[in-house]
Amino acid sequence: MEAAIKNVVGVYLKSSKGKESLGGKEFQSLVKSQLKNILTDTEDNDAVKTMREQLDNNQDGKVGFQEYMNLVGYLAQALSDQRCLENETQAESSTQETQAEAAANAKAEPKAEPQAAKEAEKEDKPVVEKAAAEEQKPEEEKKTDVEQEGAKAEENKAEENKAEEKIKTEEAS
């Protein structure tokens, strides 16, 4: 992590060419050379200009170190959110595959059961019915409050991204 921090600071210092802040050209160059694999529209000068203006909290027309760090923080958070979402999707997919395999195996098993097994099944039936009822609940009801808040936060972030893209598109027109 120490090396990553030194790298982030080094990129800023190299891009600013020893100055206190990044001008338009310097910021454009930094985005094109350093963020092309994370951001879209890095080749679109208007989109990069819009991003610079959004980062420019003090409205001086330049991106200072703290404003640059806000960009780094935003990008780190976006990558983290993306990875968490990918992990959740993989986990859900894995769970669904396991359930499908279990269902297929259950269908493939012979139906001849001893009497004791049938009686045990009758005793377990309320538990199975409860589990089946839980399985039929909508996904939102199954999630915990924390998961629901996380999902809402992701939805809000997606809406913000759409709004930013819309602004970029409108300004590009």
Q: How crowded is the C-beta side of 71, counted as CA atoms within 13 Å?
A: 26
Computed over every residue of the chain, the mean pLDDT equals 74
Between 143 and 16, the higher pLDDT residue? 16
Is the distance from CB of 21 to CB of 64 less than 8 angstroms?
Answer: yes
Predicted TM-score (pTM) of this structure: 0.51
Angle between helices 2-16 and 65-108 (to 10 degrees): 140
Look up residue 61 and give its two tokens. Answer: 């027309």
Domains and CATH numbers, the chain: 2-70 (1.10.238.10)
- Sorting pLDDT into bands at 50, 70 and 90, what band is 52? very high
Is the pLDDT at 130 greater than 50, yes or no?
Answer: no
Q: Report the pLDDT value the prediction gives residue 83, as an integer from 0 to 100.
A: 85
Strand partners, 64: 21
User: How many angstroms separate the first and last alpha carbons of the chain?
Assistant: 41
Q: Report the pLDDT value the prediction gives residue 89, as an integer from 0 to 100.
A: 76
